[in-house]
Amino acid sequence: MEYDLVVIGGGPAGMLGAATAARRGLKVVLLEKNDRLGKKLAITGGGRCNFTNDSDGDAFSGNIVTNGKFLYSALNAFAGRHLVQLFKTLGLQARVEAGGRVFPASGQSGDVLKALQKHLQDSGVEVRYNSGVRQLLSRDGQAAGALLSDNSTVKSRSVLVATGGASYQQTGSSGDGYRFARRLGHTIVGPRPALVPLVVRDGWVRELQGLALDHVMLRVAAGGRAKAEQSGELLFTHFGLSGPAVLNLSSFLTKHFSFPLDLIIDLKPGWPGERLNKLLQDHLQQNPARSLKNTLSVILPQRLAPVIPVLAGVDGGRQGAQVTRGEREELVSALKNLAVTVTGTRSLNEAIVTGGGVSVKEINPSTLESKIIRGLYFAGEVIDVDALTGGFNLQIAFSTGYLSGSSAGAGR
Ligand SMILES: Cc1cc2nc3c(=O)[nH]c(=O)nc-3n(C[C@H](O)[C@H](O)[C@H](O)COP(=O)(O)OP(=O)(O)OC[C@H]3O[C@@H](n4cnc5c(N)ncnc54)[C@H](O)[C@@H]3O)c2cc1C
């Protein structure tokens, strides 16, 4: 039997691509190598699935790290509001949280998966589990189907590769799509880890493991013309730094910088140096007999307070009244310009997304069809696109899934 479209990969991109094409009357089969769909989707957003972001247009694009322009058509064709509407028709209500992050109202990623499975079923997609694809089939520059790991073949007039990236490989995304695409003549950029924790040399950072700071500013000390800064939450870990601000910054670091590099942490971004100095002076004057480190714990988390004097080269045991103006300046400098040396990142497998992928130069942005092989389409993380945290990566997967599913098989 010949299908109109074979979709490889049952993640968000593949599921929406398959359902969209089937709704247009195409005969579609979805091949998933796991025994279930959306294994990665299930663990997104800490199990709550931050499936999109309610920002639109430029605000959304501002959160795309790589190839935002390429995604213009896909994001226009199927924006966050379309996804929320689709989910509503499938019985899934959405809830918007801080930063425009959109979650299912139930707080369960499983409910997003159920909605997508219902969409697949309602659309008449045939889903095959435990069906790992080994190779793509093509004939005379035209996609022709897929060869499975058990050596069986599935013939089709077009193929959508939605195999994801190469991170969190236990979920099934093990970079197969890169191999498929390369074999058919496509260029693969990278891949590199993105949204990935940073490994830091400084011992004091590791000693603070488990401590989270709500609002800090991070910036790269010196990077020639390249600039990178992010604000938000930071988490100290046993190897270095994580948390949303660090993950977001990492995507720029792995793209534009090389390691080791010096990172500057501003612990009090809302306080200009002079005001912070005055605040510190007031606290020290009000508590002249109290030790410096105890006074600092009024404006800093308990565990961080004794570390700052050490880094500033000031005796934390000194009484408030003994702290000199020069020492206060050193303390303010430590609070505003805390330097750490980043030696690298955690592995690609530990990255929330994979940066790099199938080069966008070889994909038509209006259809997501390959410019090399007719009838071959790409959607989701397998493409050289990535974005910051906040629901943007899943929206990209859904948007590119939708656009490829809308274009596949057209004109044949
Ligand atoms: C821990 C974690 C949390 C995250 N949280 C969020 C979040 O809250 N919000 C957000 O926007 N993004 C989040 N992301 C990123 C997001 O999950 C991905 O960007 C998104 O899942 C990519 O979708 P995709 O469909 O392209 O690929 P995937 O979801 O990776 O799906 C690819 C599918 O293809 C299958 N496959 C692979 N190779 C083959 C083969 N050879 N044959 C058959 N099937 C194959 C895989 O088994 C898999 O099911 C998170 C990622 C992680 C790891």
Assess contact for 380 and 9: CB atoms under 8 A.
yes
- CA-based radius of gyration for the chain: 25
| Banded model confidence at residue 221, pLDDT cuts 50, 70, 90 | confident
Query: What is the structure's pLDDT at 226?
Result: 58
Is it the case that residue 222 has pLDDT exceeding 80? no
Query: What is the structure's pLDDT at 409?
Result: 80
Is it the case that residue 252 has pLDDT exceeding 80? yes
Assess contact for 17 and 369: CB atoms under 8 A.
no
Is it the case that residue 412 has pLDDT exceeding 60? no
* Mean residue pLDDT across the chain: 95
Query: What is the structure's pLDDT at 131?
Result: 98
Phi, psi at 357, each rounded to 5° = 135, -160
Work out the average pLDDT over 264-289. Answer: 94
Q: Whose CA is nearest to atom 27 of ligand 1?
A: 164
Q: Whose CA is nearest to atom 19 of ligand 1?
A: 393
Nearest of 186, 165, 149 to residue 32 by alpha carbon = 149
- Mutation test of ligand 1: which of 135, 394, 403 has the most ligand atoms closer than 8 Å to its C-beta? 394
Q: How far is the CA of 12 from the centre of ligand 1 (A)?
A: 7
Q: Which fold has domain 2-192+354-407?
A: FAD/NAD(P)-binding domain (3.50.50)
Query: What is the structure's pLDDT at 410?
Result: 58
Strands 2-8 and 28-31 turn out to be: parallel
Work out the average pLDDT over 40-60. Answer: 95
| DSSP tag of 354 | E
Is it the case that residue 314 has pLDDT exceeding 50? yes
| Banded model confidence at residue 1, pLDDT cuts 50, 70, 90 | confident
Q: How far is the CA of 371 from the centre of ligand 1 (A)?
A: 24
Ligand 1 atom nearest the C-alpha of 14 is 25
42-45: long-range contacts, CB 8 A cutoff, minimum separation 24: 42/109, 42/110, 42/113, 43/109, 43/168, 43/171, 44/109, 44/394, 45/101, 45/103, 45/109, 45/391
Work out the average pLDDT over 215-230. Answer: 81
208-212: long-range contacts, CB 8 A cutoff, minimum separation 24: 208/236, 208/303, 208/304, 208/307, 209/236, 209/237, 209/238, 210/236, 210/237, 211/235, 211/236, 211/301, 211/303, 211/304, 212/236, 212/243
Domain span(s) for CATH 3.50.50.60 in the chain: 2-192+354-407
Nearest of 386, 404, 355, 379 to residue 11 by alpha carbon = 379
